[in-house]
Chains A and B, each alone.
Chain A
Amino acid sequence: MTPVIVPPKGGRPRPGIAQLKRTLYFLSRNTLAIIGLAIVLFFVVVALFSLFSPLSNQSLQQYCSVTYGTNGTVGCQPVCTYDASSGPAPAANCYPTYSGNVGFVGPTVDLTHLTGGPLPLGSMQVSSGTNQYYYSIYDGLLKGSAWSLGIAATIVLSGASIGLVLGAIAGYRGGYTDEVIMRFTDIFLSIPGILLVLVIVASFAGYVQGLEGRMLLLVGAFIITWWPFYTRIVRGQVLVTREQKYVEASRASGAGTGRILTKHIIPNSLYPVFVQLSLDVGAIPLLLGGLIFLGFQIYPSPYFPEWGAMSANSVANLQSLIESCQFGACVFPWWQILFPGLTVFLFAISVNFLSDGLRDALDPRLRR
C-alpha cells in the first residue's frame, strides 16, 4: 500500500502552485508588465463585449455604412453628411463634414450616446474601385477587436502547438529524427517569413472565395511561416531539460517516453514559448496592416474591420493626400490616423511589456 501524503493545512502549497505564486510575485514587481497586462486584459474584455454588441448582428457586407436610427435601430444606409460651409443641416441626423470631403466626419467629444448619435471617434473612409465607403471608427475598432485578437491568437497558438510537438520530439529523440525534423525546419526558416505569407496569399487569394476561405488561407499562410521559430526554441530548451536529474530519475523509476515528455520535458520547456508567444501576438496586427498597406487584398472586402487593416487604410488615404498636398490643398484628417494607429500601437507595446515582464519573472537567472 502506497502512503498518501496529505499536505498539512496552512502548510506549504503544492510545488506547481508555489511556482505560479512566485512568478506572479515577480511579475507584480514589474510596473511596466502590470501596465501591459492591464491593457491586454482591457482589449480582451472589449473583444468579448463586441461579440455581444448590436453590431455583431450586422453581416460584414452590411458593415460598409452603418447608421444609427433615432429609435436605436442599426441601419445600413450611407451616413448622412453635409458641407457646413454651404448651408445648414438638411436633416436632423446629419453630420457636418471636414473640408467638404463627403467621407470626413470629425470626432466629437459628446459621448452621451455611443450607440446612436454623433460619431464618437469620427469617420473612416475606404475606397474600393469607384465606390467610397465611410463608417464610424468607433464601430470599426470595436468590431475589429474580436477579429484582430482572434486572428492573432489562432495563428500564434497553432504555430506554437506545432512547434511544441515537433521540437519536443526532435530534441528528445535526437539522432536521425532530430536531423530530419530540423533540416525541414531550416528550410522554412530560410525563406524570409513575410515573403512566404505574401506569396501564398497572393498566389491563391484569387481562387478562394468567401469570408471563411479567405480567413483560412490567411491564417494558414501565417501558421506555415510561424511554426519553425517555435520548433527551434522548444528543441533548444528540450536539449537542456532532458539532461536534468529529475528526468533521469523519472526514467530510472520506469516512466515511458510519453510520460516523460508530457509530465517533465514539455512543462519545463514551456517558458520560452510563452515569452515568444506573447511577443508574437502583438506583431500580427502590425504585419496584417503592412500587407494591406502594400495593397494585398487579404480580406474579402476593403472595409473589413480589423485594426491593422483600418490603420493601413487610413495611412494609405493620407499618402494620397500628401500627393494632393504638393499642389497646395493640404487636408489632414488626424482622427482617421490617430485612433486605429493608437489601438494597434497600444496593443503591440503592452504585449511587449508583458512579454518582457514574463521573461524576467520566469527566467531565474534574470531575477537577480
Chain B
Amino acid sequence: MRMWVYVVRRILLLFPVIIGVMTITFAILSALPIQTHLIATFGASKIPYTPMVPCSDVGQPGNGQCRNPTYFQLVHQLGLDQPIWVQWAEYMKNSLTLNWGTVNYHSNAASAFSLTTSIPVTTVLGWYLPYTLELAALSLIIILAVALPLGNYSAVYRNRPIDQAARVMSFSGFALPGFLLATLVLFAAVILSGGATPTCNSNSTHYFDWYGSWPPFPQCANQPTWIGTYIQTSPTGFPTIDAILHGDWFLAGESVRRMLLPALVIAYGSVAGILRFVRNSMLEVLNLDFIRTARAKGVPETAVVSRHAGRNSLNVTVTVLGLTFAGFIGGFPIIEDVFYLHGVGLLLAKSIQPTQDFGLIFGTTLLFTIIVVVANILVDILYAYLDPRVRLG
C-alpha cells in the first residue's frame, strides 16, 4: 500500500472511533437522573427539582401534589425534554464545533480554581493544558536520560547484576503508589529546605517553595501582568516559555524548579515500561546477523553497541515514547493534586468530585481521546517511516 493511501485510510477510520467515544460519553450523561443535571447546572435549590411539589390543592386530580413549573422550565431550557436522538445530534454538533459549554460556577472545580464567572470549557482547557504539557515534557526528558543508557546496558550485560538492579529499581518505581512517594518527597523537601522558617513574610514558609505552580504572589511580590487572574500566562500559555519571553529569568527558573520534583516522581513511576522496551528491542537487534557481521569485520564492541545496534533499536523506542507522551497529556491527577500544579489532571480530578462539572468532564474526556487517537496515527506513520520493512495495511 502506498504511504498516502495508508494515511488517508487511517484518518478516515478516526471518525467512527471519535463518534463512538462521544456516544459513550453521551450515554453515561443521559443515564444520569435529570435532577443531577439540574443541580449541576443551576446549583442546589430550596425547591426540590422534582416534577411534582406538595401544595395546598388537596383533592382531585393531584391530591396535594402540583406541577412544578420551575422544573419543567429548567428541563426545557437544557433540552432534556427532547427525544433522545435529537439530544444526541445536538450533543454531537456541539462537540464537533468545539462548543463544549461553560464552566459551572457551582462546581467544585470552579471553587478550587476560583473561576467565578462562566468561562467556556475550551478556554479553561487552553489555560491548563500548557502546564501539563511542560510537566509531561520534563518527565519524558528525565525518563529518556535514564532509560536509554540503562536499557542498553541491561541488554548488553543481560542477567548480570546491573540488569537485575535496573529491573528491581524500575519495578519498585512502578509498585510504589504515586501518592505515597509524591507526598513523602514533598514532606522531605519542605523539611530539608528549612521547615517552618518564614521565607518572605510571617505567613509564608518553605512549604510554599514547593507547593503550586508559582510563588505566592500576594504575600511576596507583585504578580507580573503576563500572569492573569486565573494563573494563565501570555502570550504562548506555556509558563516557562512566557517567563523567558518576558525576560523574567527568576520566574522561568522558579517554574522549572517547581516542576522538577513532580517530574522526578512521575519519571520514577513510569520508567519501567520504557526501560523494558529499550532493553528488549536492543536484545533483539543484538542477535541479528548484521551485528555478527560487524563484530566479524572487527568493529570495536563499543561502536557495535552504540552505532550499529543502538541506532536500529531506537525505532521501537520512538513509537513507545510517542504513546507514553500521549498518555502523559492525560494529566497526572494525583501528582498535580499533591504539588498543586495548575494542570488538566488536577482540573479533571476537581471537576469529577461533587458537585460535578459535566461540561469540564466531557470536554476533557474528548480532548484526551482526540489526543490519544491522533498520537496513535502519528506514531504508526513515524514507525513506518523509520523502519522501511514495516508492511502498511
Q: Footprint of B on A, CB under 8 Å?
A: 32, 183-184, 186-188, 190-192, 195, 198-200, 202-204, 206-207, 282-283, 286, 289-290, 293-296, 308, 311-312, 315, 318-319, 322-323, 325-328, 330, 332, 337, 341, 344-349, 352-353, 356, 366, 368
Residue of B24, B164, B183, B361 near A315 (CB, 8 A) is B183
The distance in angstroms between the C-alpha atoms of A282 and B376, with both chains bound, is 27
Knowing A199-B361, A312-B179 are in contact, say whether A192-B17 is a contact too (CB < 8 A): no
Knowing A195-B330, A295-B353 are in contact, say whether A311-B368 is a contact too (CB < 8 A): no
The distance in angstroms between the C-alpha atoms of A347 and B172, with both chains bound, is 11
Q: Taking CB as reference atom, which chain A residue is nearest B269?
A: A286
Q: Quick check: B356 and A203 within 8 Å, CB to CB?
A: yes
A72 to chain B, nearest CB (A): 35
Q: Quick check: B20 and A294 within 8 Å, CB to CB?
A: no
Q: Quick check: A352 and B337 within 8 Å, CB to CB?
A: no
Residue of A192, A330, A353 near B330 (CB, 8 A) is A192
Chain B residue numbers with a CB within 8 Å of A348 are 174-176
Knowing A32-B167, A190-B373, A294-B334 are in contact, say whether A195-B177 is a contact too (CB < 8 A): no
Contact indicator per residue, chain B 275-306, by CB within 8 Å of chain A (1) or not (0): 00000000100010000000000000000000
23 contacts across the A-B interface (CB closer than 8 A): A187-B21, A191-B21, A195-B365, A203-B32, A206-B36, A282-B175, A286-B178, A290-B177, A294-B334, A315-B177, A318-B184, A322-B183, A325-B187, A326-B195, A326-B205, A326-B207, A330-B196, A341-B176, A346-B175, A348-B176, A349-B172, A352-B171, A366-B283
The distance in angstroms between the C-alpha atoms of A206 and B175, with both chains bound, is 31
Contact indicator per residue, chain B 330-357, by CB within 8 Å of chain A (1) or not (0): 1001100110000000001100111010
Q: Taking CB as reference atom, which chain A residue is nearest B326?
A: A192
Knowing A206-B354, A294-B349, A341-B177 are in contact, say whether A328-B372 is a contact too (CB < 8 A): no
Q: Footprint of A on B, CB under 8 Å?
A: 13, 16-18, 20-21, 24-25, 28-29, 31-33, 36, 164, 167-168, 171-172, 174-180, 183-184, 186-187, 190-191, 195-196, 205-208, 272, 283, 287, 327, 330, 333-334, 337-338, 348-349, 352-354, 356, 361, 364-365, 368-369, 372-373, 376
Chain B residue numbers with a CB within 8 Å of A195 are 330, 348, 364-365, 368
A26 to chain B, nearest CB (A): 12
Chain B residue numbers with a CB within 8 Å of A294 are 333-334, 337, 349, 353
Which 8 residue pairs are nearest across A and B when measured between Cβ atoms? A348-B175, A187-B20, A349-B175, A326-B207, A293-B179, A326-B205, A192-B330, A202-B352
Knowing A195-B330, A296-B352 are in contact, say whether A325-B172 is a contact too (CB < 8 A): no
The distance in angstroms between the C-alpha atoms of A32 and B167, with both chains bound, is 10
Q: Taking CB as reference atom, which chain A residue is nearest B330?
A: A192
Chain B residue numbers with a CB within 8 Å of A206 are 36, 354
Residue of B172, B175, B287 near A286 (CB, 8 A) is B175
Chain A residue numbers with a CB within 8 Å of B349 are 294-295
The distance in angstroms between the C-alpha atoms of A282 and B172, with both chains bound, is 12
Chain A residue numbers with a CB within 8 Å of B369 are 190-192
The distance in angstroms between the C-alpha atoms of A308 and B20, with both chains bound, is 33
Q: Quick check: B28 and A200 within 8 Å, CB to CB?
A: yes
The distance in angstroms between the C-alpha atoms of A352 and B179, with both chains bound, is 19
B39 to chain A, nearest CB (A): 10
Label chain A's interface by main secondary structure.
helix
Chain A residue numbers with a CB within 8 Å of B33 are 207
| Extra inter-chain contacts (11) besides given A191-B369, A202-B354, CB under 8 Å | A187-B21, A190-B18, A192-B368, A199-B25, A199-B28, A202-B353, A286-B177, A311-B180, A327-B205, A337-B180, A352-B171
Residue of B17, B175, B334, B368 near A293 (CB, 8 A) is B334
Chain B residue numbers with a CB within 8 Å of A191 are 21, 24, 365, 368-369
Q: Quick check: B368 and A318 within 8 Å, CB to CB?
A: no
A108 to chain B, nearest CB (A): 24
B269 to chain A, nearest CB (A): 10
Q: Quick check: A308 and B177 within 8 Å, CB to CB?
A: yes
B364 to chain A, nearest CB (A): 8
Q: Quick check: B28 and A345 within 8 Å, CB to CB?
A: no
Chain A residue numbers with a CB within 8 Å of B287 are 368
B199 to chain A, nearest CB (A): 10
Interface centre among A203, A206, A327 (most CB of B within 10 A): A203
Chain A residue numbers with a CB within 8 Å of B17 are 183, 186-187, 190
Q: Taking CB as reference atom, which chain A residue is nearest B173?
A: A349
A200 to chain B, nearest CB (A): 7
Q: Quick check: B164 and A190 within 8 Å, CB to CB?
A: no
The distance in angstroms between the C-alpha atoms of A204 and B354, with both chains bound, is 11
Knowing A293-B334, A349-B172 are in contact, say whether A325-B177 is a contact too (CB < 8 A): no
Q: Taking CB as reference atom, which chain B residue is nearest A202?
A: B352
Chain A residue numbers with a CB within 8 Å of B25 are 199
The distance in angstroms between the C-alpha atoms of A352 and B175, with both chains bound, is 8
Chain B residue numbers with a CB within 8 Å of A293 are 179, 334, 337
Chain B residue numbers with a CB within 8 Å of A344 are 175, 177
Q: Quick check: A183 and B16 within 8 Å, CB to CB?
A: yes
Q: Quick check: A318 and B183 within 8 Å, CB to CB?
A: yes
Chain A residue numbers with a CB within 8 Å of B208 are 326
Chain B residue numbers with a CB within 8 Å of A352 are 171, 174-175, 272
The distance in angstroms between the C-alpha atoms of A356 and B365, with both chains bound, is 33
Q: Quick check: A323 and B184 within 8 Å, CB to CB?
A: no
Q: Quick check: B171 and A349 within 8 Å, CB to CB?
A: yes
B299 to chain A, nearest CB (A): 23
The distance in angstroms between the C-alpha atoms of A286 and B168, with both chains bound, is 18
B330 to chain A, nearest CB (A): 4
Chain A residue numbers with a CB within 8 Å of B187 are 318, 322, 325, 332
The distance in angstroms between the C-alpha atoms of A191 and B186, with both chains bound, is 31
Residue of A186, A199, A296, A325 near B190 (CB, 8 A) is A325
Q: Quick check: B207 and A345 within 8 Å, CB to CB?
A: no
B245 to chain A, nearest CB (A): 31
Residue of A192, A286, A326, A366 near B372 (CB, 8 A) is A192
Chain B residue numbers with a CB within 8 Å of A368 are 287
A172 to chain B, nearest CB (A): 19
Q: Taking CB as reference atom, which chain B residue is nearest A323?
A: B207
Q: Quick check: B167 and A356 within 8 Å, CB to CB?
A: yes
Q: Quick check: A322 and B207 within 8 Å, CB to CB?
A: yes
Residue of B171, B183, B372, B376 near A319 (CB, 8 A) is B183
Q: Taking CB as reference atom, which chain A residue is nearest B191?
A: A330
Q: Quick check: A330 and B334 within 8 Å, CB to CB?
A: no
